[in-house]
Structure 1
Amino acid sequence: MRRAVWLLGLCQCILWGVLYYSFSVLLVPMETALALPRTAVAGAFSVGLLAMAVLAPAVGRWLDLGHAANVTRLGMGLAVLGLGIVATANGAPALYLGWLCMGIAMACVLYEPAFALVIRAVDDDMHRVRALAAVTVMGGLASTIFLPIISVLVEQLGWRAAALVCVGAIVFAALIMEVWVVPSLPASGMSRSKFRSPRSGEWPRHMRPLVAIFASGTLASMALTTLLIPLLLQRGVAPSAAALVLAAFGIAQLPGRVWLLRGRGGMPTHVLKSWPIVFQVAGLIVVIVSASPWAMGAGVAVFGLGSGLHTLSRPWLIQRLYGVADVGRWNGEVARAQGLARAAGPLLMAGAAAMSSAPTVLIGIAGVLAITLPLAIRLPDR
């Protein structure tokens, strides 16, 4: 099972790299080749993110019915189809259709189905959180590994050929899932929620605080990644140095996950309830008050540490609160809120900064996160 978990993480790394992070590399070449404005090309990606968010609860319900393997197979097929359409697109309609397919695919293959496979296969709490940490450690390497690889492919082969290479990567990941991962992660006994089962359409106890906590965290991440480089340039930092500061965000998400992966003893509940928010607020404050790019980079790293723990805390907290049998349903509800924040965040943050300033927006986001800290602390440990 241990090998299957690490291979599952490898597949997540590949899928995040070619479905999510590839867009930032393909954006300018697609814009030039298709003679489309940047907003039109970016809109295709936003459509995909919106589809991913809207479908998250439905995907979660399918996962609860034990269909994780079939959901993943469907997602792999749609990912291949979507990337194939994008690679051969000659205008906006095909581009939007391709990214719509990829958005549906992302809902079916990124993290949620992987979390469902792990949570249902591992009984022990500590082993479960280590398995989740292993998957997110590998997934967290996606931008570091695939952004430079896809950049080289685009430079050497062109963006269309690079997209087709990404299709091959998805087929490779699908093969790993089919042969080694899914057969090695059978569902074990499934615990039920200690709370009463809600009626159809009704959220259970503690669900609203969870949505507020995780949607706010995602919005904060989008605010930082959207506003950081313009803020650094405004403060006189060179573009290359600004890019290095932002790079600290992705790298810093890993240490907290690695620490939990290597942890011993009982599960530190308070770590996954409150520390992610504390780190994110502290990191934003350092970014806001610092003038030096090195100090701002340290703030970004602290924020990234909290963001990395945040990703891991959602599936763990939800299965603790609502039981393994319903984890897909409630994971999906929270993922939908996060997905909407991810899709709308860049536009909202850029618009708010234009009306005020980037530091003002970041102060407001830090305040929102601070408000969610008491909500997190009040969540029950079991």
Structure 2
Amino acid sequence: MTTSAIEDLSRRRGAGAGWLITALGVAQICSWGSLYYSFPLLAEAMRLDLGWSKPQIYGAATLGMALAGLAAYPVGAAIDRGRGRYVMGGAAVAAGLLLVAWSQVSNVALFYVVLAGIGCLQAANLYEPAFAVITRRVGAGGARRGITALTLWGGFASTVFIPLIQLLIDLFGWRGALMVLGAINIVVCGGLYFFAIDPKKDHPVPVREPHEPLPLTGRKAVAWAVRRPVFWALMVAFIAYAAAFSTLTFHLYPLLLERGLTAAGVVAVMAVIGPAQVAGRILIWVFAPHAPVRSIGSIIVIIFPLAVIGFAWAPAEVIVIAAIAACYGAANGMITIVRGLAVPEMVSREAYGSINGILVAPMNLMQAASPLAAAWLWSITGGYDAVLIAVGAGALVLCIGFWTAAALARCVDRRSGEYAGASQKKSSPPI
């Protein structure tokens, strides 16, 4: 197949990917809502019913998130091999069955086993595998629009599912709520992932001349990527982001109470973050649809240390703190797009799932450990001042790491005359 024929076929398949994006978007709302945002509500209902302590319950969530980090690479590698339909569809069904099993637990050991399984399956059901599926379908060059659109869908997960889950708990108790969530995963998520992901419609692979190197895949692609400084700069940036984001996500409520806001005021502030994430993604969609991701990210990361300063020093007024939370939420929404596009635009256009899986694995591990570390720091110091200092330091590392990655990617662009990730000379792999 000639290059022009491949480009024409790619455009036609990209234009016909609307059903895939819509199906993945609906499924992502349900996956995020049932597997991620449901936990705090269900945990509190379990604590009141079973008398378990918060550390017992949240320790299981930490274990699950850690295992999600370990599962990221094999999931990405499987999607690179064209198995996205079975990986995501099968994981959704398995997650639904584990949610049903969760509804029947009455001892801590079984609870930990179930949450460990759900954590592993998150690696196959949330954004990263969906990004890999989109990239495989439309090609690395056409993935930006699809990934941005998918994050717009996913941004509504908390808005839809938090009130739904609370309603289910009120009507049926936490056990009944889990059974409904399990059915949603099996029927809605499993069905949509299976029927929407079609390997036959994946982006065509160009036919290479005999003297041209074969595209890198799997472990070879990862081995090539880890020899590039830009990969490590991105990893440092994303690990620092995970630490800051996870800490604020789990501790923002008590932190703002300690700052002097009322419980109603804190809820009002936190309600701003979800819509702000969607608004931030729309800003990129409208005003920067073709801007290099390194340029977008270099601006966005500045917001995080400024937000931490605001949470620490701004007057304890709901309107002021809500405005800071809106900026923080918008930055979070936009950084999700940056994370999804960083590999094809700054590292390599080949083996997206494998390389991205290795890149986000330590990020997921940090996301699991940070809330517990912050709680430990709070218990030692007796307040959130030290926690905010640590989060602020993480935000600064995020800035330095991403700026370094952007500078390295810009140097490659200058040498090759195209985005990092595009093919270089025939004698060397694409970057």
Q: TM-score, normalised by structure 1?
A: 0.91
Residues 161/346 of structure 1: CA separation in 2 closer, same or farther (3 Å cut) = same
Report matched runs for 1:3-18 at 5 Å: 3-18=19-34
Tell me the CA shift for residue 201 of structure 1. Answer: 9.4
Provide Cα deviations, 1:237-262, integer angstroms capped at 9, x if missing partner. 11111122122222221112112333
Aligned counterpart, 1:278: 302
**Does the Cα contact within 8 Å between 1:129 and 1:261 map onto a contact in 2?**
no
Counterparts of 2:225 and 2:294 in 1: how far apart (Å)? 28
Alignment match of 2:364 (pick from 339, 346, 353):
339
1:33 aligns with 2:46: no
1:327 aligns with 2:352: yes
**Does the Cα contact within 8 Å between 1:120 and 1:187 map onto a contact in 2?**
yes
Report matched runs for 1:210-359 at 5 Å: 210-263=234-287, 266-291=290-315, 292-356=317-381, 357-359=383-385
Return the letter of the residue paired with 1:203.
V
Residues 47/243 of structure 1: CA separation in 2 closer, same or farther (3 Å cut) = same
Of structures 1 and 2, the larger Rg is shown by 2
Q: TM-score, normalised by structure 2?
A: 0.81
Counterparts of 1:301 and 1:374 in 2: how far apart (Å)? 23
Residues 365/264 of structure 1: CA separation in 2 closer, same or farther (3 Å cut) = closer
Return the letter of the residue paired with 1:45.
A
Provide Cα deviations, 1:77-107, integer angstroms capped at 9, x if missing partner. 3202210110111211221122122112111
Aligned counterpart, 2:204: 189
1:203 aligns with 2:232: no
Residues 263/117 of structure 1: CA separation in 2 closer, same or farther (3 Å cut) = farther
Counterparts of 2:173 and 2:378 in 1: how far apart (Å)? 35
Return the letter of the residue paired with 1:204.
R
Tell me the CA shift for residue 286 of structure 1. Answer: 1.6
Counterparts of 1:36 and 1:19 in 2: how far apart (Å)? 21
Aligned counterpart, 1:148: 163
Return the letter of the residue paired with 2:389.
I
Residues 190/20 of structure 1: CA separation in 2 closer, same or farther (3 Å cut) = farther
The 10-residue stretch of structure 1 (317-326 or 344-353) with the greater mean CA deviation from structure 2: 317-326
Alignment match of 1:178 (pick from 194, 203, 211):
194
Residues 332/355 of structure 1: CA separation in 2 closer, same or farther (3 Å cut) = same
Residues 99/201 of structure 1: CA separation in 2 closer, same or farther (3 Å cut) = farther
Tell me the CA shift for residue 185 of structure 1. Answer: 7.9
Tell me the CA shift for residue 183 of structure 1. Answer: 2.7
Aligned counterpart, 1:380: 409
Aligned counterpart, 2:427: none
Counterparts of 2:56 and 2:322 in 1: how far apart (Å)? 32
Counterparts of 1:237 and 1:252 in 2: how far apart (Å)? 21
Residues 185/322 of structure 1: CA separation in 2 closer, same or farther (3 Å cut) = farther
Residues 369/200 of structure 1: CA separation in 2 closer, same or farther (3 Å cut) = same
Report matched runs for 1:148-167 at 5 Å: 148-167=163-182
Tell me the CA shift for residue 65 of structure 1. Answer: 1.7
Moved over 6 A (4+): none
The 10-residue stretch of structure 1 (64-73 or 83-92) with the greater mean CA deviation from structure 2: 64-73
**Does the Cα contact within 8 Å between 1:278 and 1:373 map onto a contact in 2?**
yes
Aligned counterpart, 1:120: 136
Percent sequence identity is: 26
Return the letter of the residue paired with 1:71.
V
Aligned counterpart, 1:369: 395
Return the letter of the residue paired with 1:274.
S
**Does the Cα contact within 8 Å between 1:85 and 1:97 map onto a contact in 2?**
no
Alignment match of 1:108 (pick from 117, 124, 140):
124
The 10-residue stretch of structure 1 (197-206 or 24-33) with the greater mean CA deviation from structure 2: 197-206
Return the letter of the residue paired with 2:159.
T
Tell me the CA shift for residue 227 of structure 1. Answer: 3.3
Unaligned runs of 5+ in 1: none
Residues 45/287 of structure 1: CA separation in 2 closer, same or farther (3 Å cut) = same
SS at match of 2:106: coil
Aligned counterpart, 2:84: 68
Work out the number of aligned pairs and report it.
Answer: 378
Residues 227/199 of structure 1: CA separation in 2 closer, same or farther (3 Å cut) = closer
Tell me the CA shift for residue 166 of structure 1. Answer: 0.5
Tell me the CA shift for residue 216 of structure 1. Answer: 0.9
Give me the CA root mean square deviation. Answer: 2.3
The 10-residue stretch of structure 1 (264-273 or 14-23) with the greater mean CA deviation from structure 2: 264-273
The 10-residue stretch of structure 1 (144-153 or 133-142) with the greater mean CA deviation from structure 2: 133-142
Tell me the CA shift for residue 52 of structure 1. Answer: 0.7
Report matched runs for 1:29-108 at 5 Å: 29-108=45-124
Counterparts of 1:40 and 1:372 in 2: how far apart (Å)? 31
**Does the Cα contact within 8 Å between 2:88 and 2:194 map onto a contact in 1?**
no
Counterparts of 1:13 and 1:166 in 2: how far apart (Å)? 12
